[in-house]
């Protein structure tokens, strides 16, 4: 049996906070992709705030669409919940695309979407 070392933590006061907050995507050895705000990390684990699964679905037009799903799916979904993920169960991590970050922030952040910075010339 595979020990995923996933633990739900709802008492945020027991977690040592990191010096920054960043949104990170992780690919787990189970094949799942998850996204969350890094609350803290050590040499052996990540603590993610408000984790979501990245789901690829077929749209009405037949084209793939990407969305978010609760993660883990069977856990009680609470705002400001955290999950601890052992780094030995992470295949790789990456900074998600800007669209993912904006959509995530609409759900869990301030809801403010910053426009793309473009220089208008005339």
Q: Where are the domains of the chain?
A: 7-108
3-state secondary structure of 84: strand
* Cβ(37)–Cβ(52) below 8 Å: no
Q: What is the pLDDT of residues 16-74, one digit of tens each?
A: 333 335 899 999 999 999 999 999 999 999 999 999 999 988 889 999 888 898 898 88
pLDDT above 60: residue 91:
yes
3-state secondary structure of 33: strand
Identify the CA nearest to 34 among candidates 84, 109, 106: 84
pLDDT value of residue 51: 94
pTM of the model: 0.69
pLDDT value of residue 117: 62
What's the CATH architecture for 7-108? Roll (2.30)
Mean predicted confidence (pLDDT) in 92-117: 79
Q: Which one is predicted more confidently, 10 or 87? A: 87
């Amino acid at each position: 049996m595979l020990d995923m070392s996933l633990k739900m933590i709802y008492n945020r006061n027991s977690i040592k906070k990191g010096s920054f907050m960043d949104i990170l995507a992780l690919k787990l050895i189970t094949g799942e992709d998850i996204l969350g705000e890094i609350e803290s990390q050590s040499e052996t684990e990540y603590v993610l705030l408000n984790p979501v699964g990245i789901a690829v679905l077929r749209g009405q037009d037949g084209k793939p669409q990407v969305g978010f799903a609760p993660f883990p799916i069977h856990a009680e979904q609470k705002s400001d919940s955290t999950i601890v993920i052992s780094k030995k169960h992470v295949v790789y991590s990456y900074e998600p695309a800007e669209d993912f970050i904006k959509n995530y922030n609409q759900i869990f952040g301030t809801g403010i979407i910053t426009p793309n910075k473009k220089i208008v010339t005339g």
